[in-house]
Amino acid sequence: MSSSTAGSGAGQLETRGIEPVPEAECDGHPLQLFWVWFAANISILGLPLGATLVAFRGLSIWQVLLVAILGSVGSFAVVGLISVAGRRGRAPSLTLSRAIFGVRGNIGPTLVSMLSRVGWETVNTTTAAFVLLSLSSILFQTPASAKDAPLLTLLFIGIFVLMTLSVSGLGHATLLVIQKWATYGFGALNVLVGGFLCATIDWAAVFNATPAPMSAMIIGVGTMAAGTGIGWASSGADMSRYQHRSVTAGRLVASAAFGAGIPLVLLITLGGLLSVGNDHLASAVDPIIAIRDMLPTWMAVPYLVAAFGGLLLSNNLSVYSAGLTALTLGLKVKRVYAVLVDIVAIFLGSIYFMLIADSFYGPFISFISLLAVPITAWVGIFVVDLIHRHHYSADDLLNVGPSSAYWYRGGIEWRAFGAWVLAIVLGFGFTTIGTTAEDVWFTGPLADSWLGHNGLGWIVTFLVAGGGYALLGGARDRRAAFVENANA
């Protein structure tokens, strides 16, 4: 695929796919990434995350603040670490992962990441369409129910996916500009909405709340990490591959940790404040409507616009990454067409869930939450490998045949793949998944253990994956191996 306009300005089509970026085109700086991560995390839907910490875990507001910092800032620091690989290898995250898992072994992690991306994009799209239905019902007295207004629902789904395509399809340079400037507008609306929500807080109850035990905080950190940074981990290198070689690892980590962490900490904490003495937000089937009901009627329009904008900014980045992931899976098209394939998938999925299925959020989010286990295992192995892997062979990353240096044995690096599978099995063993406490459809055999009961299966998954890979020799110095493969 041609790469002649890959480093071009906003509004011009990025034609590069997953092939590594030439060093001459790498002039990015960390502030660009700060705005990208900030924009992707200013969605008002961060409020229900904080609400669950108070309503279901009983945390005091100071504990909520600490958990928000550790969970969101900490998990996005991991995203920043994966961004370091992008600056080193100049390729998307899952393409670089071929060097770790082998060109065939990497299919597993890549497929899981693709399913997760498309899943969350479908959540974003359906939620955004519901927002527009609600907005239309206020302004034009149209039905607010999707099934009562099927043509309007199709129109709103189409508007959202076309707006996403207009940014994600054009590519990296356009994404950087749109995410930065849109943050100012939608961020200001979020501040306005947040100010009015603060008027509903029971401050006496906030300061008189009894702190929860440490175990509840540990569970909260895991919940926040899974709901924020872990889901974005595979996008880290996708955005950092254009960064200048002089950019340090510390600045890349900081751009992700603080870019995403600042809005998330504020939103999660506000969600916790709103839920002290009131679990309505945490237990709401439709959090968009639950938040709208807390506001004065005249604030509904700016609130819904802010909610729509946050969902759109998040979707822009997710769909861009999904297009690169589809190419890594082997889709033989140009990058913009890979994005289009993803758009069609989420368009059809949203139609099904809004107009045909009887329920959506609970079962579907449970499914994509289950995917967090193999994604966490991949993160553990990727981060451990990054310690010593300073070089990636551009030609071998794109070569999926036996002549690739990343073919290993049968196309699989068995130390990485074996550690990944083992960590997934153990992680699922500690996991319970269900739409409610009464409607549980998966319970691991170790779910009733202390680790499982306290929601610490994610720690087991991460440590077993990374630790197993290291013990098997996967963390050895990769510079020597790179030279050896190059000379073979």
Q: Which residue, 479, 401, 393, 398, is CA-closest to 89?
A: 393
What is the arithmetic mean of pLDDT over 370-375?
Answer: 89
The whole-number pLDDT of residue 47 equals 87
pLDDT band at 393 (very low <50, low <70, confident <90, very high): very high
Of 49-58, 83-92, 294-303, give the range with the top mean pLDDT: 83-92
Whole-number Å distance between alpha carbons of 204 and 268: 19
Residues in the chain: 488
Whole-number Å distance between alpha carbons of 136 and 301: 10
Average pLDDT value over all residues in the chain: 89
Q: Are 390 and 314 in contact (CB under 8 A)?
A: no
The whole-number pLDDT of residue 87 equals 96
Does position 193 have pLDDT exceeding 80, yes or no?
yes
What is the arithmetic mean of pLDDT over 269-286?
Answer: 81
Domains, in order of start, for the chain: 24-364 (1.10.4160.10)
The whole-number pLDDT of residue 365 equals 62
Does position 11 have pLDDT exceeding 90, yes or no?
no
pLDDT tens per residue across span 218-266: 888 888 888 899 889 999 999 999 999 999 999 999 999 999 999 999 9
